[in-house]
């Protein structure tokens, strides 16, 4: 397996976990929130609970980091002025973001930073 395909697998793993986090962010409402969805429901309107918005913003920030790192890893060619440091640091960043998912059944120990 090439280093590029290992990076692709790690990036895909993190992207899926972040998408799961984003979809689950709407489950964390304050007690008594009139907008809070029931089990299996999707919220129909916005509320003022701070936690779903905070979690969603956090996920979006990590998704931007992941996209930026992926771009840096992909453009890692001989003509890249940041090579080899740029792609290496990007890979370390992706591994650091992935570490919070180490308890997931699809986690691989080789991804540890």
- The verdict on residue 38 lying in a domain is no
36-93 pLDDT per residue, tens: 767 767 666 677 889 888 999 999 999 999 999 999 888 766 666 666 678 889 999 9
Residue 32 is assigned to a structural domain of this protein:
no
* Structure confidence at residue 57 (pLDDT): 95
Residue 40 falls inside a structural domain: no
> Band of the pLDDT at 2, cuts 50, 70, 90?
low
Contact present, 76 and 87 (Cβ < 8 Å): yes
Residue 31 in domain: no
Range of the domain at 60: 3-24+49-111
Q: How many domains does the chain have?
A: 1
80 within some domain: yes
Taking the C-alpha atoms of residue 14 and residue 62, their distance in angstroms, rounded to an integer, is: 10
Give the Cα separation of 109 and 113 in Å (integer): 9
pTM as predicted: 0.81
Domain presence at residue 30: no
Assess if residue 78 is contained within a domain.
Answer: yes
């Amino acid at each position: 397996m090439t280093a590029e395909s290992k990076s692709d697998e790690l990036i895909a793993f993190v992207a899926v976990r972040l998408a799961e986090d984003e979809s689950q962010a709407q489950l964390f409402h304050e007690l008594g929130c009139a907008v809070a969805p029931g089990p299996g429901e999707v919220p129909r309107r916005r509320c003022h609970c701070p936690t779903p918005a905070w979690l969603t913003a956090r996920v979006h920030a990590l998704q931007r980091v992941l996209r930026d790192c992926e771009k840096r890893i992909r453009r890692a060619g001989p003509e890249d002025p940041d090579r080899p440091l740029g792609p290496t640091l990007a890979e370390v960043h992706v591994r650091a973001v992935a570490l919070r998912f180490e308890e997931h059944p699809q986690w691989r120990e080789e991804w540890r930073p």
